[in-house]
Structure 1
């Protein structure tokens, strides 16, 4: 738990790029005066990583709620505050406690019941935990890895803080995406890159296309 909270793995720019979030938007989430929705590690040297894995997960969930599901920031903030109060954790958006049906946000309480974040109303229709399919959870119910949405299922790419210092890696063999794209940008043939990293040409092409 301490590692994913206290060890920075990505810069703001890298997090913005890997999660496809505008830098200005991510900066606003990190510096909101009412309390940051995405956490970072303070007092890091200039240009060093500042965002720990828990912050990457928070940013990923916020992107889903705000940009994919078009939920308002007040709704997201209400849900985050409700989880923080109920479970005494500042890392509300990096828990399994937030669910959505695409119109409202619901909180899963300790009793197992779901209730709407802003008024406690229980849902009348099935709630879809759509963001959970991109997050892999550890035995302690904290996030262990996330799948990056912009990469194809042909070659899934994940961020797992145990590998490549938290940089994106190919899920199947943990090859850093940067190693693949560096060879591609240097002009190496796709077939050679595929052979080097035990991937198919199609996998290399989809990874390079997404990374570009």
Structure 2
């Protein structure tokens, strides 16, 4: 099966769970259950639900860049369908076999050869209509378009969403912020620069105006606004 070498910078543990949740705008408790699993009550006592995303080192609570991409895609799958992670895992295992990849959510063939297969399988599992499957397909495509890939088809850059998502309104959101594991230790930066969004947000919090920051960095106002959204966004877990 296709995969990425364990010594590839994209596969190395780098992001804490709170960091990843913040960058991807996902509740921390939700993300934690995806990567660490969770207990759930049954009539026979507590059971443990296995995680759907595999961390690079199970002894650490740190995610890799590839994990960020997997969660970015998984968020599209579960955003409008509050269903069990068990069914999500079944669908992921199905497409893993179909695409012959250990990392199907981060692999280009999901976008090309596997998208319709995945949507059909997942749609049957959660019993959604054809119209619902079309919505799911559009959501997945919107998320997949925000991933740049290397020549082997694996993710190398991610353009995270920075705005509140309502339905499909976020689909054409600008790609002003990028997460690239080779730049600024994989923290979000303005596209085409090494300027960390965290520094821009700190200066804004200290009272500097957006226009002044745009002039100082020689960047469009829109990019400065997106950097601030990226860093100052909070969401209840």
CA-based RMSD of the aligned residues comes to 3.1
- The residue correspondences of 1:1-212 to structure 2 (distance < 5 A) are 1-2=4-5, 3-4=8-9, 6-32=11-37, 35-42=50-57, 43-44=59-60, 50-67=62-79, 69-70=80-81, 72=83, 73-98=85-110, 106-107=116-117, 116=121, 128=138, 129-130=140-141, 131-151=143-163, 153=173, 156-212=176-232
Contact 1:95 1:141 in 2 (8 A): yes
Contact 2:177 2:226 in 1 (8 A): no
Contact 2:52 2:88 in 1 (8 A): no
After superposition, give the CA deviation of every residue in 1:76-121 in whole Å (9 maximum; x if it has no partner). Answer: 322211133344543222223446xxxxx7437xxxxx963587xx
* 4+ residue segments displaced more than 6 Å: none
Paired positions, count: 194
Distance 1:206 1:96, change over 3 A: closer
- Where structure 1 has 5 or more consecutive residues not aligned to the other structure, the ranges are 100-104, 109-113
- Where structure 2 has 5 or more consecutive residues not aligned to the other structure, the ranges are 38-47, 125-129, 164-171, 233-237
Deviates more, 1:82-91 or 1:18-27: 82-91
TM-score by length of 2: 0.68
Q: Whose RCO is larger (CA < 8 A, sep 6+)?
A: 2
Deviates more, 1:174-183 or 1:71-80: 71-80
Task: Give, in whole Å, the separation in 2 of the partners of 1:170 and 1:184.
Answer: 15
